[in-house]
Structure 1
């Protein structure tokens, strides 16, 4: 039930899926044949009676029933569990993306139409994308993405603490929320260059000049459209990771903002530049104005988190950020299942 799956994803991650593609066993056989097979690599010869997969060590070209067996086998690799099978499936998809990118499948109108027609017959999709022309357009957009920027990542998990006999896993709360935030905010898991919009000289000049030490920056944080709890999460980051200890959570802003802003008095410009550097604020996000009095009776700047807030510690100008200790792979890397 695709609808149930989409609701489960939303409940577990906070990410709202807008479309879906569902591939059953026949879809795997049909599509792998339509693209002329997929090259896979295994470190050791495989002879699995349960999935009926037989492969020699090294590289093989597989399609149809053999491709289905490769994706279904669980006893041929790793510790014979679902998580290791997922890794193998990701390697298969990476190989498929390399092939699609390097061949003329996505540039030949004839081959592309044939592939789209096969997809409409093999895949179950929602009505908004269930047309040959739409799937063709999606494929053409995919052609623009370099394989090195296509990331495969499994949600970080830990053993379910509620179980005495370990059988299931739950999201790792120290790592998974960052993954979900990055997906929701369209932040890449690989390094990409962000196209910068040119700002007017006077606006851009707000970022130029001396910067205060982080410990001298005084700022209060308001939530003006970011997800609930964002002000406290950003406060925690500023105080524990960025050294901005003279900061405080001031609750919700009186109105929602599309963009995050930093208001400061003229004599706080050096503090504002330091905070802008930490947060990745543009010149247009910096609003020269007035300071307010904080809970210690001292003048302080006001940072209002808008709807563009990408998560605690994620720079506003980030197209990508580091994801430490999160296992991932990219489609440009050739890997052998083991």
Structure 2
């Protein structure tokens, strides 16, 4: 267990972290890029960036494992948070501190762990960069260097909250409980309530600076069939997969929101019609190339998009803009009905004009 001195010295730093708006913010591509790089370069199925919140760990980014929060006692991070060096456990069943751990003997049954604390400017651990494997293994010297480099990049990103414009304004004005209430708990993106506020702020900013703003409505194709054929847990995982694909496809300043059962909304400030189309094309391709793997086989996910652009000087409301995007979505579904198969995976896009 962590000693009391370590826990007490973190209290002030945790308070400061709260003021830096790290906790309960939506998925961000800048962190997901790093965990994807870690999984590829270190050849592990799971990689995570965690942030310490009291005696809990909150997963700012994770690939390969469906978890959002753990108590520190239930995690494998305790030694890592107490150390300034990388902690490498080549075989968790042979290590006395982890041999009987629930994540080793049950649950995912992790057999390998490597982690390094993310240190703030004072040298205090505010989180960790971690990778996990289901098989015992050793890290090569180059692997250790890769881990160190990724830790430094994650540390820089973690200590530089950079949510864009309306998003950062929304985060800063809310306490943790209210901020959490604007997050979709399943997909870790903004929910409908947040979408309404973020879009209104984006329109106000666009009017002030005489800029365009666009929205993209996304609908998962055949989502009901996924639920009916594979069960609701598979449907939930499909929603999570799509949300992660959307976050990785948009620009850093765009807001990804889940607005309904299988519906998402992307708010794109300072964007041209052509750029909005490019983003929609990219996200559809990303979703298509990220199949959902189930015991019954791989599910090929596809989405249909509808885009609406509000140009400088136009007076359309947020409701007008979303309705226009919904009309474009309907038009796309009608024009390409049945064409989202392997031969034509990316046709489902339409764009509408606002009033």
Q: In which range does the TM-score fall when normalised by the shorter chain? A: under 0.3
In proportion to residue count, which structure has more helix?
2
Flag the structure with more relative contact order, 1 or 2, with Cα contacts below 8 A and sequence separation at least 6.
1
